[in-house]
Amino acid sequence: MRAFVVVGPGRAEVRDVAPPVPRIGEVVVDVERAGVCGTDAEFYSGHMAYLRSGDAAYPIRIGHEWCGVVSEVGADVDREWLGRRVTGDTMLGCGDCYRCLSGRQHLCADRFEIGIRGGWPGALAERLPVPVRALHPLPDSVDATLGALVEPGGNALRVVEAAGVTPTTRLLVLGPGTIGLLAAQIAAARGAEVHLLGRDEPSLAYARGLGFTHTWRRSNLPADLAFDAVVDATNAAELPGFAVGRVEPGGRVVYIGIAEEPSLVDSRELVLKDVTAVGVLSASGGLSGTIELYATGAVDPRPLVAATVGLSEAADVLAGRRLPEWGAAPKVHVDPRR
């Protein structure tokens, strides 16, 4: 089968590789669609922290936002899975440690991460092996574009829940990228007043085109505008501290973006303002809820996808080369069958 392989910083190729064979407890999925995200770009550039920690190494087969159809099952797996459209959890815990047994398998010290950690192959390929316990069925109303947006949507849903969003919440989202916009859409669906802060006009204009009328840069964000919760969905080292400074006393700050360098937060400010700060790692726990949001039409993130390309075009996308006609939509999908 064909698979996209990153072989070193700034170097990738489409290779013919052996197709996966399902082991005990696994299925093989024919990939319909896969998303490309910032983590994938960091592997391509060589900046991904796992490359330094030893949790990942070149060559690596990336891709962890995906959907597809189950085409093979392991000997012990119910054959009713065959032919079902699915997506799945990226985080694959060992299943036996304290964290896994207490429902925190996404924090397992020995976890695999599909297309990211431990050498588990990713979804930028025609076929993908997945443990059956990680699968989530997709209803017919969730098409391939939506299916490949379930994983980022699960992250965003967990962010919104961590922020405690209600219809009375005024929420500030830092960063109008994929996760930030998904969090904004989910929060708006819950009735919140959503504000978005970005650093360039094209991304803010795009957000306004989605219906978000409250868009700001730091230079024009009103000093007296109070926010019940702030979400940092950026990789800017200075914004975690900024988020604490802008949230109301007694409010909540949620961090999902990761800066390349340490970011400083003054814990005195957290204490004196009685702020709750929460970090979110992965979509685990948010996938089923996201599928329901998409299936019912409560949230439709399909406009976030600028284009769908083939495997041979993935390197250009990872390098940041975009066609002008794609506009400012933040997400690019890959169809491995092209």
164 in the same domain as 143: no
DSSP conformation letters of 288-315: HHHHHHHHHTS---GGGEEEEE-GGGHH
Q: Check which CATH number belongs to the domain holding 235 and give it.
A: 3.40.50.720
pLDDT tens digits, residue range 296-310? 999 999 999 999 999
Q: Are strands 331-334 and 305-309 parallel, antiparallel or unpaired?
A: parallel
186 inside domain: yes
284 inside domain: no
317 in the same domain as 330: yes
275 in the same domain as 160: yes
pLDDT for 306: 98
143 in the same domain as 8: yes
**Residue the block writes with tokens 């975009």:** 322
pLDDT for 162: 98
100 inside domain: yes
119 in the same domain as 198: no
- Angle at 309 (CA atoms; ends 284, 18), nearest 5 degrees: 70
User: How far from 223 is each of 134, 145, 241, 305, CA to CA, in Å?
Assistant: 45, 39, 16, 33
256 in the same domain as 180: yes
pLDDT for 78: 97
Q: 162-192 b/e with 16+ CB inside 10 Å = b?
A: bbebeeebbbbbbbbbbbbbbbbbbbbbbeb
137 in the same domain as 10: yes
Q: Are the C-beta atoms of residues 89 and 107 closer than 8 Å to each other?
A: no
34 in the same domain as 71: yes
The domain of 200 spans 153-279
pLDDT tens digits, residue range 95-134? 999 999 999 999 999 999 999 999 999 999 999 999 999 9
294 inside domain: no
Q: How far apart are CA 175 and CA 184, in angstroms?
A: 10
141 in the same domain as 172: no
179 in the same domain as 63: no
DSSP category for residue 221: S
Domain count, the chain: 2
Question: Helices in 212-266 by DSSP H: which ranges?
Answer: 239-246
pLDDT for 260: 83
Structure tokens at 237: 């080292």
pLDDT under 70 in the chain at which residues? none
pLDDT for 134: 98
Q: Check which CATH number belongs to the domain holding 322 and give it.
A: 3.90.180.10
169 in the same domain as 78: no
Over the Cα atoms of the chain, what is R_g?
Answer: 20
122 in the same domain as 57: yes
Q: How far apart are CA 321 and CA 270, in angstroms?
A: 40
Task: Answer whether 0.85 is exceeded by the pTM.
Answer: yes
Closest CA to 178 of 201, 199, 206, 200: 206
pLDDT tens digits, residue range 194-219? 999 999 999 999 999 999 999 999 99
286 inside domain: no
Long-range CB contacts (within 8 A, 24+) of 193-199: 193/169, 195/170, 195/171, 195/225, 195/227, 196/172, 197/172, 197/173, 197/221
290 inside domain: no
DSSP conformation letters of 44-79: HHT--HHHHHTS--SSB----EEEEEEEEE-TTS-G
Structure tokens at 334: 């890959």
pLDDT for 169: 98
